[in-house]
Amino acid sequence: MTQSATPAVLIEDLRFAYARKSPPVLDIAQFRVDPGERVFLRGASGSGKSTLLGVIAGILDVSHGRIEALGTDMAHADAATRDQTRAERLGVIFQMFNLLPYLPVGENVMLPCRFSAGRARATKVNGGPAADARRLLSRLELDPAEYWNAASRSLSVGQQQRVAAARALIGQPSLILADEPTSALDTDRRDRFIALLLEECASSGAALLFVSHDGGLAPHFDRALDLSEINRAGTGETA
């Protein structure tokens, strides 16, 4: 293993269960995402994909094993440190309903900069949070002039997902976690969305961990693997 850079994600001997006595949802011996690497992780519904992302993001408490996100020990660090790492260095895109309904598009995109001074500072190279948000929106093919003040719920699902991508990318996070972000999109929009997302990750140097049940997306990525290959707990469980 190279020591050149801190891995974006490093998991060793991880076990996770929602309750102490329930069977583990995750039981992963080894998993790693390198900095800037774009990884596709396929998994059926209920196989623990979202749980894995929650664990990596430091939202779910892990009792057993080692898990690092961008060098932060998400298994042992206190909750404040984990929350801070997430605010400063992670971007998350959900399956749908990514946006706060009461904030207009522009505010939604800039939100991470309000949570994190580091993210706000990182936008300075692009002229500050607002300028960077506009830049990202146009890169994701949403004209800021038209959409900046638009109500989030007035957007189509595809547009909402692109706004979510812009929000995840603002302030140059080092790792983007995407949880089935294309499942509500039709094939054309799906491919376009992925292309844009990959492009932006590449230009900002962020690593991307993209989980989906749709194996057809695999060719877009640097590396693709099936959750069942690494998760011993998920085998035999489909929903």
Q: Interface with other proteins by CB under 8 A: which residues?
A: 50-51, 53-54, 57, 59-60, 79-80, 83-84, 86-88, 90, 92, 94-95, 97-103, 107, 111-112, 114-117, 179
48: DSSP letter: S
CB of 102 to other proteins, least distance (A): 3
53 vs 230 by CB, closer to other proteins: 53
114 vs 143 by CB, closer to other proteins: 114
59 vs 218 by CB, closer to other proteins: 59
CB of 46 to other proteins, least distance (A): 11
- Asked if 120 and 171 count as a contact pair (C-beta separation under 8 A), the reply is yes
97 vs 238 by CB, closer to other proteins: 97
- Asked if 236 and 66 count as a contact pair (C-beta separation under 8 A), the reply is no
CA distance 81 to 71: 12
CB of 180 to other proteins, least distance (A): 11
* Token pair for 154: 């007035």
- Asked if 40 and 223 count as a contact pair (C-beta separation under 8 A), the reply is yes
CB of 97 to other proteins, least distance (A): 5
CB of 59 to other proteins, least distance (A): 4
27 vs 88 by CB, closer to other proteins: 88
- Among candidates 163, 178, 177, 173, which has minimal Cα distance to 205? 173
CA distance 25 to 16: 6
- Residues in the chain, how many? 239
* Token pair for 29: 């011996």
